[in-house]
Structure 1
Amino acid sequence: MKILVVSNIYPSFKYPASGVFVYNLIQQFPKLGHEVTVISPENILSIGAKKVKSYGVENCTVYRPFSFSASNKQIGSFNTYRITELAQIKGIQRTVAKHNLEFDFVYAHFMMNGFIAVNALKKYKKPVFVAIGESDLPLLTKMYPKDYFEQSIRLISGFVAVSSKLRNQLIGYGVPESKIFLKPNAVDFTKFYQRDKAEMRKKYKLPMDLKLVAFVGRFMDHKGPLRVLEAVQNLDNVGALFMGKGPQEPTGPSVVFNESVPSYKIPELLSAADVFVLPTQREGSCNAIAEAIACGLPVVSSNIPEVMDQCNPSFSILVDPLDVKAIKSAIESILGDEVKSTEMSNNALEHSKNFEIGERASSILDFIKSMMEE
């Protein structure tokens, strides 16, 4: 089949870390024998961004029409994102027309891109399928007039939801359950696997004599990097690795690593750690957790539905994400018991086998094919 992918988050030479999880999935489609074209609108204001030599092997044809971003600000009943959306719609329409692109269906990643796709490509009368990975759809509805939201969602032929919470929210917006495929995020096992811990610590000049806690994600309050720091800073012989960036930057003697790193370094750094900790307040389906367990790490995270979909007690301890004492206690219970820690690590590796990205890509395309046949 000829697949047209629409996603405004997709790696580029300017932003190699943008939408890596989207890129990892989309790269599987050509491997399954399909012809894939990606349209990823690019903010014209990013012209001066520093470029890298490569963001990875590209198996798709990628077009990056320039667009304009008006941010996401509410002014009375109007949200400035609608200007951004219109600019991206025009950019997609120009790209399809200019290159005479042919496609059997559209795959859009995230609801915002789904709305852009259905409104940009109406005249082609091709089905549009949308991957829903947002942390919470009601937050999104505030950006659109009610009638526009309802009209656009009706134009979408099918949805891939990464969590039961998102599936239920779609049903609440009137989407028939038959149009929703529940499939959590998955991992590329050729990249994310357990490395030798001592070797990775030596490579990144990390202390050999400490137990290490790993955090991966935006340095934002809802992700909880400062809560992780507070939980570990009074633990003896424990250090913390922070991979990410954002306004809540963790600092102090407990921090042994703090950088925004390219995606290929993340599994190496995870393999250097002893436990993964993410006290997040909301998720879609957490890529960071899926990647951590593929590297054999026990998990301390949040007792929220979307994380509970991914984790079980054999390799995780889920707590109130705002309770620093509970986070600290969970970390101590794992790091203080070598037998328990090893058992949880083995269970994490075994559980991760259920989330292989090639199988996920194949299942998604099978769902799309069945919906098109209907």
Structure 2
Amino acid sequence: MKILVISSYPSLENPSAGVFVYNLIQQFCKLGHEVTVISPKNILSTRSKKVESYGVENCTVYRPLFFSASNKQIGSFNTYRIAELSQIKAVRRTVKKHNLEFDFVYSHFITNGFIALNALKGYNKPFFVAIGESSLTLIAKQFPKDYFSQNIKQMRGFVAVSSKLKNQLIDYGIPENKIFMKPNAVDLTKFYQRDKVEMRKKYKLPMDLKLVAFVGRFLPHKGPLRVLEAIQNSDNVGALFIGKGPQEPMGSSVVFRESVPSYQIPELLSAADVFVLPTQREGSCNAIAEAIACGLPIVSSNIPEVMDQCNPSFSILVDPLNVKAIESAIEAILGDEEKREAMSNNALEHSKNFEIGERAFSILNFIQGKFEK
């Protein structure tokens, strides 16, 4: 099939953007499908230093420019609508300019689904959207009252990463048979446990410290500064912060802080001793799934989304806002080598249940089942 994907997507300037989408879409290609990706690029985005590669690319990728006015509520109007309209034009322009052919449209996140729908509904093709947000209710607030419900009902089908999101879709009037619930998964040929010493040498990381890894946007709800605060009382602990964002962690405990291409993430995870993410909300967390696949014990949040991914055999889940609890959980793992080794082995065993190739096949099977309806 010919698949058109509308989503955020990695680039040489921003290799970590939409990595989970990239990994899934590459699997679509491996299954023999022809995939084109349109990933609109904000014309006002700050240029970052380019990397050599964000990974092997099997798709055709277009990055048309659009204008954004941020996401601010002014009375009954949200400025996100300016960016939305600009992206609708960018997608429509790209499809027309390159005479793109496609059998269906697959978008990741509901906002991209709406962009695709309003840009391309004249082509009379089915639209499918992956729902991975932490809450559809929060997303709906940035749109006019009836706009969200009207657009969401025009989708042919949905892929929800959690039962919570599936139930929210049902609350918006989506029939259950139009929803495929499938948690996020990992490419186990890329995310696996490497030799710790070799990875530390490769990235020039200290050999004499226990290392905590954080992967994600540096945002308050993700908690990078809470991780930093939780380790500051320990002389023998350093932290890897893989990502970027406004809440930038700094200090002597930070031994690595950088946004990297997706293929480097499992190498850096393998250099660490424990993964810590005190997040306040998630859809289905790719960073946690990837850390589990690399054999890392997990310290994260006692919220339903994370509890769906983790069990006590390899994780300690705490109040994400309680820095002392985060600190105690880290100490419990780093201070007991036998416990840490057992948790690592349990994580590796658990990861076998979440393989991305099977997920890609299942999603496309669901879509094909809805194709003629």
Decide: shared fold, TM above 0.5: yes
Asked if structure 2 preserves the Cα contact closer than 8 Å seen for 1:164 and 1:309, the reply is no
Question: Which range is displaced more, 121-130 or 258-267?
Answer: 258-267
SS in 2 for 1:143: coil
The 8 Å contact of residues 92 and 120 in structure 1, kept in 2 or not, is answered as yes
The Cα RMSD (Å) is 1.7
Aligned twin of 1:4: 4
**Partners of 1:66 and 1:336 in 2: how far apart?**
50
- Cα distance, 1:110–1:372 mapped onto 2, change above 3 Å: same
Count matched residues.
373
Question: Aligned equivalents of 2:54 and 2:256: distance in 1?
Answer: 23
Range with greater deviation from structure 2 (240-249 or 71-80): 240-249
1:56: how far off?
Answer: 2.3
Residues 48-75 of structure 1 show CA distances to partners (whole Å, capped at 9, x for unaligned) of 6654443322211222222222221211
Unaligned runs of 5+ in 2: none
Cα shift readout 1:89-126 (whole Å, capped 9, x = no counterpart): 12222222233222211101100011111111112221
CA distance in 1, matches of 2:41, 2:231: 40
For 2:227 and 2:288, locate their aligned partners in 1 and report how far apart those are by CA, in whole Å.
Answer: 15
Answer with 239-248 or 17-26: which moved more: 239-248
Alignment partner, residue 175 of structure 2:
176
Question: Given the superposition, is the C-alpha separation of residues 65 and 220 from structure 1 closer, same or farther in structure 2, using an over 3 Å criterion?
Answer: closer
Give the Cα–Cα distance (whole angstroms) in 2 for the partners of residues 233 and 48 of structure 1: 32
CA distance in 2, matches of 1:97, 1:238: 54
Give the match for residue 368 of structure 2.
Answer: 369
The residue correspondences of 1:117-136 to structure 2 (distance < 5 A) are 117-136=116-135
1:114 matched to 2:113: yes
Maintained 8 Å contact 1:242/1:255: yes
Shift of 1:247: 2.6
Preserved contact between residue 231 and residue 327 of structure 2 (Cα < 8 Å): yes
CA distance 1:256–1:58, shift in 2 (3 Å)? closer
Q: Residue 323 and residue 47 in structure 1: after superposition, are their counterparts in 2 closer, same or farther (change >3 A)? A: closer
User: Residues 259, 46 of structure 1: CA spacing in aligned structure 2 closer, same or farther, 3 A cutoff?
Assistant: closer
SS of 2:241 mapped into structure 1: strand
Does the CA-based 8 Å contact 2:54-2:263 persist in structure 1? no
Q: Which residue of 2 aligns with 1:260?
A: 259
TM-score (norm 1): 0.95
Deviates more, 1:141-150 or 1:245-254: 245-254
Structure 1 gaps, min length 5: none
Cα deviation for residue 194 of structure 1 reads 0.5
**Which shows bigger deviation, 190-199 or 97-106?**
97-106
Give, in angstroms, the shift of residue 333 of structure 1: 1.5
Instruction: Write out aligned runs for 1:301-340 (5 A).
Output: 301-340=300-339
**Which segment is superposed worse, 322-331 or 296-305?**
322-331
The answer (yes or no) to whether the contact 1:5–1:106 under 8 Å persists in 2 is yes
TM-score, normalisation: structure 2: 0.95
Amino acid across the alignment from 1:243: I
1:151-230 matched pairs, under 5 angstroms: 151-230=150-229
Identity %: 81
CA-to-aligned-CA distance 1:104-154 (integer Å, 9 cap, x gap): 111011000111111111122211000011122111111111111111001
Deviation (angstroms), 1:373: 4.0
Aligned to 1:359: 358
CA contact under 8 A between 2:16 and 2:259: conserved in structure 1? no
Which structure 2 residues correspond to residues 26-65 of structure 1 after superposition, within 5 A?
A: 26-46=25-45, 51-65=50-64
Using the alignment, how far apart are the partners of 1:12 and 1:219 within structure 2?
19
Indicate conservation of the 8 Å contact 2:10/2:19, yes or no: yes
Q: 1:315 to 1:52 in 2, by over 3 A?
A: closer
**Deviation of the 1:252 alpha carbon:** 2.8
Per-residue deviation, residues 282-331 of structure 1 (Å, max 9, x unmatched): 11111110111111000010010111111111111111101112111211
CA shift for structure 1 position 169: 1.3
Query: Counterpart amino acid of 1:127?
Result: P
In structure 2, the residue corresponding to 1:146 is in which secondary structure? coil
Find the residue that maps to 1:58 and give its secondary structure.
coil
Looking at structure 1, the residues matched to 98 and 356 of structure 2 have their Cα atoms a distance apart, in angstroms, of: 30
Counterpart of 2:5, as a letter, is V
Q: Is the Cα contact below 8 Å between 1:277 and 1:300 reproduced in 2?
A: yes
8 Å CA contact 1:213–1:277 kept in 2: the answer is yes
User: Measured at CA, do residues 292 and 44 of structure 1 come closer, stay the same or move farther in structure 2, by a change above 3 Å?
Assistant: same
Aligned residue for 2:101? Answer: 102
